[in-house]
Structures are given as C-alpha cells and as structure tokens.
Structure 1
C-alpha cells in the first residue's frame, strides 16, 4: 500500500505540467510537506470537462454514488489488478485518472525516493461527490501494484508510478483497448535509479507508522 508520502520540494521544482497550471491561489497555498497522511489535502494534476488542471483533493476516495460522505470506507489505495471491476473505482478508472506529485513515499519508517532527487508521479483516481445542497467534495486514491525487489522486503504492495511525458496519455478518458494499453504502466517499476533512506530526523516520527 501507500499510506504516507512526501512532497518536500519548492514550488519551482514541481513537475512542469503541474506547475504551469497552478494559479495564484494554488501557489500561495502550496507548502513543502515531509509527511502527507490520509485524509489530508493533496495536490494533483487531473483532467475534467474543461481540460487539464491543477487541483487540491482530499486523500481517501468517496464514490460519486455514495449517499453520505461521512459514512462508509474512504479507500486511500486501489489495487491495480482489480480496479476495473470494483464498483468504487471502475468509473474513475475509465474517466478520472489523475497524477499526484511526490518526492518520496514511506513504508515502515523508511523513505523511498529517486536517486536524482527529482519528483515523480503517483498514479491516482479521483471522484467528485455532489451533495443535494450543491456542495462538492473532490477526493482521490492512489493505485498500488506488487512490489519490486527494493520494496518487497518491507511491504507486499507499492504505489504505481507514471513516467514523465505520459501525463496526458494517462489522464485521457479511455475504454476497452485504450484502457488495456495503459495496463503495462501498472506493473512493478524498475528499482534502478531509486534508493531506500532512513532519515535520522524522521526516525521518531515514523517509527509508529
């Protein structure tokens, strides 16, 4: 699973497709975070009816058909192997895939990041819940897959990552063979170019995760 991640870089170092779509309000509210937890707002790149945009969403998906967003599970992760079958995810899998920037993800007090220190995309799905009073809540979940050799000693799941340059292909509405064409992106990613860290400054904070 992916239950904690970080986005601890300056706004100017965010991936260009996201940075160029952040308005003044997004930039004003942005702050680097060493630890992002479920239920908190996350920055994301998504596509809706008006095009590709930067957005803030709560981490923990509320299906659009849910009658009460305060009750029921709010999954922070979705298994990539079954995402097309589960009622909570299949609509978003077809039409509402998103990208969540991260500088690291965490498992059992350890931190995984790229060797070059660059941010990367976590693959996600998003939904918009509409209330009868006109209220809206945008939420998201992170896709997971089987672990590679770097992550496997610590956890049986790891987040799906999407290579830079494939942003629009990942987010474009798709069905049938178009969705099947995305399936290779859900496989375990190559661990070369990644490293496992145990930051001394986070040892006490992360030992309980």
Structure 2
C-alpha cells in the first residue's frame, strides 16, 4: 500500500526528466511537500506527442467510463498483479502510465527513503475524466507490489518503483506483447541503498503523520 508520501526535494534537485518538462508556471508554483495524501493534487510526469510533460493530477483514479465520479471509488493504489485485467485500470495500463516523483513514503510511523536522499519514481497510471459539461479532471493511482525485506515488517504491499533511465520507456504508449517487457519492473525492488527510519525526529512531519493515522 502507498497512502502517504513526501516530495520534499528542492526544485533544482528534481529528476531532470521532470524538471526539463516543467514550464514556467509549474516551476513558479512548485513547493516541497512533507506529506501528500489521497485526494490531494500531486505533481506527475507523463508523455505526449512532444515528449515528457509535467502535470498536476488528483491522487485517486476516476475511470474514464464512470458517469458520476461522486458515486464511485477513487482508488489511490492499483495491484500490479491484476492491473491488466481490472476494468478501472486496463486502458490506463496500456496507454497512460505516468511517473510520480517522491522523496519518501510512509508506513507505520516510518519513512522509507533512499539513504542518499535522492528522489525516486513511483510507478503510476493516469486517466482523464470528461464531464457532460466539457469539464476535465486528470487523476492517477500508484501501482503496488509485494514488499521487499525492508518494507515487509511494516506492510504487506509497497509501491512499484521505476529505475532512473527507464522513464520514457515506462511512459510510452504500448500494447499487447510489448507490455510484457514491464513485468520485471513490477516485482519487489532491491532494498540496498534504502532505509526505513522513524519520522518522530521531525516534529512537524510527525504531527501531520499522526493526524492521518
């Protein structure tokens, strides 16, 4: 499960794929965030005909076929094992994969992060919901998988991560047998170079986290 994460990275230290795709408005509005939860807007990277594109999306995917988004669930996680078959995620899995930058994610009072404190990519899917009045809402969900040795004592699920250098391949629209190439990315990632530390040392972060526990 991934229901809380942080993007506390300064603008100039964001991954180049994301930073180079941000226009002036995105750059001027960007601010590091110590806690991001479902239902809130988040920064993501997706691709269009011209290449990578930074975008703001609501966390909690609304399927494009849903007539009334207020009546259905907005899943903030999608199981990697079944994402190709679930009606809510099937089309996004094939054509609308995205990347969500993070500096850490939270489980049971701990923040899981890279030891070198560099940001990383959560694997996501996105969807555009179109209202009858012409309104548009972009939403997303985070893919999850079985945990590695680091996360297993804390939770039975963890987010799928996309390694640096595979960003554009992940975001490219593919179908059929080409999707098989992503299967090695959907399992538990190597925990070497990662840590799970108590967030109690950060009073403000601890307070925010406790309010949502």
Q: Alignment length, in residue pairs?
A: 209
What is the match of residue 42 of structure 2? 42
TM-score (ref. length: structure 1): 0.97
CA RMSD of aligned residues (A): 1.0
Query: Does the 8 Å CA contact 2:2/2:105 hold for their aligned counterparts?
Result: yes
What is the match of residue 139 of structure 1? 139
Q: Is there any run of 5+ residues in structure 2 with no aligned partner, and where?
A: none
User: Once the 2 structures are TM-superposed, how far is the Cα of residue 174 of structure 1 from its aligned partner?
Assistant: 1.2
Q: Secondary structure at the match of 2:118?
A: coil
Query: Does the 8 Å CA contact 2:18/2:52 hold for their aligned counterparts?
Result: no
What is the match of residue 176 of structure 2? 176
The 1-side partners of 2:60 and 2:48 are apart by 19
User: Once the 2 structures are TM-superposed, how far is the Cα of residue 108 of structure 1 from its aligned partner?
Assistant: 1.4
The 1-side partners of 2:6 and 2:137 are apart by 23
What is the match of residue 206 of structure 1? 209
The 2-side partners of 1:71 and 1:166 are apart by 36
User: Once the 2 structures are TM-superposed, how far is the Cα of residue 71 of structure 1 from its aligned partner?
Assistant: 1.7
Change (3 A) 1:49 1:64: farther
Q: Is there any run of 5+ residues in structure 1 with no aligned partner, and where?
A: none
Q: Give 1:122-137 correspondences, 5 Å limit.
A: 122-137=122-137
The 1-side partners of 2:170 and 2:138 are apart by 19
Q: Secondary structure at the match of 2:98?
A: strand
The 2-side partners of 1:48 and 1:65 are apart by 21
Query: Does the 8 Å CA contact 2:96/2:173 hold for their aligned counterparts?
Result: yes
What is the match of residue 76 of structure 1? 76
What is the match of residue 2 of structure 1? 2
Query: Does the 8 Å CA contact 1:3/1:37 hold for their aligned counterparts?
Result: yes
